[in-house]
Each structure stands twice: as structure tokens, then as C-alpha cells.
Amino acid sequence: MIAIGSDHGGFELKTAVKRLLDERGLTYEDCGTDNGDSVDYPDFAEVVARGVAQGEYDRGILICGTGIGMAIAANKVAGVRAAPVNDPDSARLAREHNDANVLALGGRTLDPLVAERILDVWLETPFAGGRHARRVAKIEPGGGGTAKAEPR
């Protein structure tokens, strides 16, 4: 199951994304907001991120004006790897290389047709594992992701 949430800046795109999920027969839970009235994006990011981190949802989709604020807020929750994505190639790499479990989209920056392609790629792309699994493990809580490179 997918959790989806937005603030007022992402409400319109969230409505379009829900239609796409319906067309694909995917189950989701709408975690708000329910209209275009001004709200605080961190509140919705936390609900979706905590649900993903706790295993209540397989993945999450967050939408604000740019996707950036939602990603920042969601990434504060341990176990979440939220990626703000603006194109299909970044969606593919976010899944393949980073095992992104939360997709952050920009309601004010993305055309709905581009968002549709991003969503399809993100949903269809598996995590590549291998060397990427080692790297993802380093960003997990307790993963020992300390810098090994010498400063310049």
C-alpha cells in the first residue's frame, strides 16, 4: 500500500496522482490535506514518513510546491529515503541506487504528464542492490556512514 500526502501547493497534483494510482489498480491511503487551504507541509510529511518507516505502507508519495520541503521533512524520520524528483531519469536512479521509499513531487513545478511518467518509472524500478546496498546501509540509523575521504 502507498501513503500519499500533500500540502496546499501539492493538492491539485495529488488529485491527479490519485487518479493515476486508481487507473493502475494500486491501493493507497490519502493522508491529507483535503483541499487547497494553506497548511504546514511538515505535518503531512511526518504522517507519511512515519507510516513508511513503521512498515504500515510500502512506499510514500509527498507533494508540495516543489517537493523539496516535503523531502527534507520526511528524511528526518529514521528509515525514510525521500527523493525530490523532477524527471523520469532521477526517479529511476532514486530507486535503483538509493532505494528511495518516498517520492517527493512539486505541484507547482511539474506538468501532470511528466509527473505521470515519473510515477510510473519510480513504481516500476527495483533497487539494484550490490554496491548500492552498501551505500544505502551507511545512511541508515547506526549504519556507520562516517566519511572516509580525506578533506581537500
User: Would you give the DSSP letter of residue 1?
Assistant: -
Ramachandran assignment for 142, one of left (phi > 0), alpha (psi -120 to 50 degrees), beta (any other)? left
Active site members: 64, 97
Angle between helices 112-124 and 11-23 (to 10 degrees): 50
Q: What is the three-class DSSP state of 48?
A: helix
Name the pLDDT band for 86 (thresholds 50, 70, 90). Answer: very high
C-alpha angle 39-42-44 in degrees, rounded to nearest 5 = 70
How much is the pLDDT for 143?
74
Give this prediction's pTM: 0.93
How much is the pLDDT for 152?
55
The class of domain 2-139 in CATH terms is alpha beta
The DSSP annotation for 63-132 comes to EESSSHHHHHHHTTSTT--EEE--SHHHHHHHHHTT---EEEEETTT--HHHHHHHHHHHHHPPP--THH
C-alpha pair distances (Å), 39 with each of 54, 74, 82: 24, 16, 20
Q: What is the three-class DSSP state of 28?
A: strand
- Calpha distance 138→60 (Å, rounded): 22
How much is the pLDDT for 140?
86
> What does the pLDDT look like over 41-83, one tens digit per residue?
999 999 999 999 999 999 999 999 999 999 999 999 999 999 9
> What does the pLDDT look like over 117-138, one tens digit per residue?
999 999 999 999 999 999 999 9
How much is the pLDDT for 145?
61
